[in-house]
């Protein structure tokens, strides 16, 4: 016997198809009943009934219908997708910029929940939970070998509810903390700080409903600290809400220029977004850093600033996701996102990269070690002109004004160490952190640079039984030691000074960011 819920979903799905069919027929767009949406719905229904009646082990109707919807989405483009019940809440939380829980960033290390960082002002932070703490029990039940989805189920929950966690901390006996769940902000601004006396830095990790609000706060704090130049870091920013990207751009454009336009099948999808007024200093030079992980809204920001000569773009060619998805709820637990239009920057460039060779090729292209085109090949791309007459290129993604290969240039041994699931750098920083407690930031960084040695790190990592020294080229790893050491120091800094200082310590050895700092005079000339 099928549940009322499953029947409701099917009936709703069928009614949607029928309604579409009636509309289409009424408009006279489709008069061939054999290929009409009504006929399509009838065929789907026949197959469903056949499976339920004949299949030896037919799954629940809901699974079959979800599978049919997923199949339809797979025939479209890489960004049209079905959002199932498991992902629905997480998707909404990501866009809302908040969730309800205890507020910790964590990773499963050695089969235990390990706190990477408590979120500032969250319940865990207020209860004194620290980076490196292990959560060994949740409400008295062992958390050993727990899976990430189960962690989220147990630690998230309605605001005001209680959860008891048992903490293991080095040098201490096990202890309990009763945490009252609360709203936790998922910040769009990962970090903001002054690099020097006049250069401010803001890192945006996504575009959610509170992005502009957060950016405002960060911007004015830096402005009040003497900022005369802005380094905007959009690397690995996957995008998000279009309206937030438009509102952010509007802050920096004082003229009535076009910021973006979209083209789609529906009239409502053809939209031109115009600047209204500038809320910030229109003479502030901006350099934007992007890489192959910068997509969608982050490409709109970088491409528009580039087209309007509002600043320079430095880094790698961006992802090339220049399409608009409309979110449609199917019920209170599932939804679809359908691509309805494509973005175009003010000069007329389409951001969207070609996906006609299939989804596999579309994503595999991103791991090619060098996606940048030579100057001769680049000239074969569609060419456009910026507001000031500079040549920029279309053909998918945003091509930077100044190409600079990002941190993907790390050697394979370094990548194996830095991104190892066992979190080697984090664990090593845990071992060292007691030597750097109660130190001022500058003193901590200076002391750590002098004391942390490659030899000691290698000797430590060899004690891990899972680490096969013979499989790691120690000599090649040594060439990337400065990068690895900076990351270890950043982990130590994070424990005592938080995420802003974590990123500030990384900037010192961030070759792309350091290269970007050289071009503010050139960025300033564009404003004139």
The residues assigned a catalytic role are 296, 307, 321
Q: What is the DSSP track for 209-269?
A: TTHHHHHHHHHHHHHHTT--EEEEE-TT---B-HHHHHHHHHTT--S--EEEEEEESSGGG
In the DSSP assignment, the letter for residue 172 is: S
**Which letter, b or e, does each residue of 176-204 get, where b requires 16 or more Cβ atoms within 10 Å of its Cβ?**
ebebebbebbbbbbbbbbebeeebbbbbb
Q: What is the DSSP track for 81-94?
A: EEE-HHHHHHHHHH
Calpha distance 468→163 (Å, rounded): 40
Distances (CA, A) of 341 to 77, 247, 273, 397: 12, 20, 14, 16
Geometric angle at alpha carbon 64, from 58 and 68, rounded to 5°: 145
Calpha distance 67→50 (Å, rounded): 15
Classify 48 as helix, strand or coil. helix
Distances (CA, A) of 332 to 82, 100, 288, 345, 382: 14, 19, 39, 35, 44
Calpha distance 480→485 (Å, rounded): 9
**Residue 511 near residue 408, CB atoms below 8 Å:** no
Q: For the chain, give me the number of helices (H) and strands (E)? A: 20, 21
How many whole angstroms from its chain centre is CA 373? 26
Separation of first and last alpha carbons in the chain: 73
Residues 6+ apart with CB under 8 A from 206: 94, 188, 237, 238, 239, 240
Q: What is the DSSP track for 483-525?
A: HHHHHHHHHHHHHHH-HHHHHHHHHTT-HHHHHHGGGHHHHHH
Classify 159 as helix, strand or coil. coil
H-state helical runs in 32-118? 37-54, 61-74, 85-96
**Residue 314 near residue 401, CB atoms below 8 Å:** yes
How much is the CA Rg of the chain, to the nearest whole Å?
A: 26
In the DSSP assignment, the letter for residue 369 is: S
By C-alpha distance, which of 101, 163, 104 is closest to 130? 104
């Amino acid at each position: 016997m099928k549940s009322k819920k499953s029947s409701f979903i099917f009936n709703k799905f069928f009614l949607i198809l029928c309604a579409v069919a009636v509309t289409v027929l009424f408009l006279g767009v489709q008069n061939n009943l054999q290929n009409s949406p009504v006929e399509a719905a009838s065929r789907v229904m026949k197959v469903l009934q056949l499976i339920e009646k004949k299949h030896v082990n037919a799954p629940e109707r809901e699974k079959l219908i979800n599978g049919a919807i997923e199949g339809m989405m797979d025939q479209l483009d890489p960004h049209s997708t079905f959002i199932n019940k498991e992902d629905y809440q997480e998707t909404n939380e990501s866009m809302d910029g908040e969730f309800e829980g205890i507020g910790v960033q964590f990773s499963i290390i050695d089969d235990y929940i390990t706190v990477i960082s408590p979120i500032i002002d969250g319940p865990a932070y207020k209860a004194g939970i620290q980076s490196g703490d292990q959560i060994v029990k949740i409400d008295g039940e062992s958390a050993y070998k727990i899976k990430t989805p189960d962690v989220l189920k147990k630690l998230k929950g309605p605001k005001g509810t209680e959860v008891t966690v048992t903490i293991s901390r080095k040098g201490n006996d096990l202890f309990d903390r009763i945490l009252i769940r609360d709203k936790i902000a998922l910040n769009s601004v990962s970090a903001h700080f002054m690099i020097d006396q006049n250069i401010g830095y803001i890192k945006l990790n996504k575009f959610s409903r509170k992005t502009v609000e957060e950016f405002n706060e960060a911007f004015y704090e830096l402005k009040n600290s003497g900022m005369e130049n802005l380094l905007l870091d959009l690397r690995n920013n996957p995008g998000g809400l279009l309206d937030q990207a438009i509102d952010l751009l509007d802050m920096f454009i004082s003229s009535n220029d076009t910021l973006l336009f979209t083209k789609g099948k529906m009239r409502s999808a053809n939209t031109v977004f115009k600047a209204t007024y500038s809320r910030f200093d229109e003479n502030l030079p901006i350099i934007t850093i992007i890489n192959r992980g910068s997509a969608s809204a982050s490409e709109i920001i970088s491409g528009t600033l580039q087209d309007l000569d509002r600043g320079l773009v430095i880094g790698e060619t961006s992802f090339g996701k220049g399409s608009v998805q409309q979110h449609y709820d199917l019920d209170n637990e599932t939804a679809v996102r359908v691509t309805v239009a494509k973005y175009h920057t003010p000069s007329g460039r389409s951001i969207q990269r070609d996906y006609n060779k299939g989804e596999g090729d579309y994503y595999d292209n991103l791991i090619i070690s060098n996606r940048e085109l030579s100057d001769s090949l680049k000239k074969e791309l569609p060419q456009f002109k910026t507001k000031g007459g500079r040549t920029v290129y279309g053909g998918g993604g945003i091509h930077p004004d100044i190409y600079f290969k990002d941190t993907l240039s790390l050697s394979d041994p370094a990548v194996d160490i830095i991104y190892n699931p066992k979190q080697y750098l984090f664990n090593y920083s845990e071992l060292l952190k007691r030597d750097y407690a109660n130190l001022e930031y500058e003193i901590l960084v200076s002391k750590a640079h002098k004391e942390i040695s490659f030899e000691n790190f290698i000797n430590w990592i060899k004690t891990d039984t899972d680490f096969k020294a013979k499989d790691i080229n120690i000599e090649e790893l040594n060439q990337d030691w400065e990068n690895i050491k900076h990351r270890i120091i950043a982990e130590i800094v994070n424990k005592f000074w938080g995420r802003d200082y974590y990123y500030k310590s990384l900037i010192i050895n961030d070759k792309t960011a350091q290269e970007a700092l050289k071009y503010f005079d050139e960025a300033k000339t564009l404003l004139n």
